[in-house]
């Protein structure tokens, strides 16, 4: 059995000077969010940080926190290509209401 905070699929993000790093757990995602500079924090950051905190407390599933961490990483262009490719292969909710 997997530990409750381990993601089914790691999220690969760019850190530092563009080095890819695999984020495998809620705690690792939380650490990245906690280290994010305060001047760049926005609603996506706040939501992802709250989700990670809730997942660490066992209030929500790790995969829910992962999804919000991915949304944060995507918004800030942190997703490494392998994660982006994985995301495009998953069913997406249509962002435009007229697209079926």
Give the residue carrying structure tokens 């919000």.
68
Confidence of residue 4 (pLDDT cuts 50, 70, 90): confident
**pLDDT for position 64:** 97
Q: What is the per-residue pLDDT for 58?
A: 95
The arithmetic mean of pLDDT across residues 12-22, rounded, is: 91
**Domain assignment present for 67:** yes
In a domain, 100, yes or no: no
Give Cα separations from 5 to 50, 56, 62, 71, 81 (angstroms): 14, 7, 5, 18, 24
Report which secondary-structure segment, H or E, holds 56: helix 43-56
Distances (CA, A) of 25 to 22, 52, 79, 93: 9, 10, 16, 25
* 56 vs 83, higher pLDDT: 56
Residue 10 sits in which domain range? 6-81
**Does some domain include residue 96?**
no
Residue 93 belongs to some domain of the structure: no
Q: Mean of the per-residue pLDDT values for the chain?
A: 86
């Amino acid at each position: 059995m997997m530990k409750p905070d381990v993601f089914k699929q790691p999220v690969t993000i760019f850190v530092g000077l563009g080095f890819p790093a695999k984020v495998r757990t809620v705690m690792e995602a939380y650490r990245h969010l906690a280290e994010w500079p305060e001047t760049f924090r926005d609603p996506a950051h706040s939501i992802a940080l709250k989700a990670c905190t809730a997942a660490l407390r066992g209030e929500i599933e790790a995969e829910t926190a992962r999804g919000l961490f991915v949304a944060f990483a995507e918004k800030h262009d942190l997703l490494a290509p392998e994660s982006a490719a994985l995301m495009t292969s998953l069913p997406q909710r249509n962002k435009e209401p007229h697209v079926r």
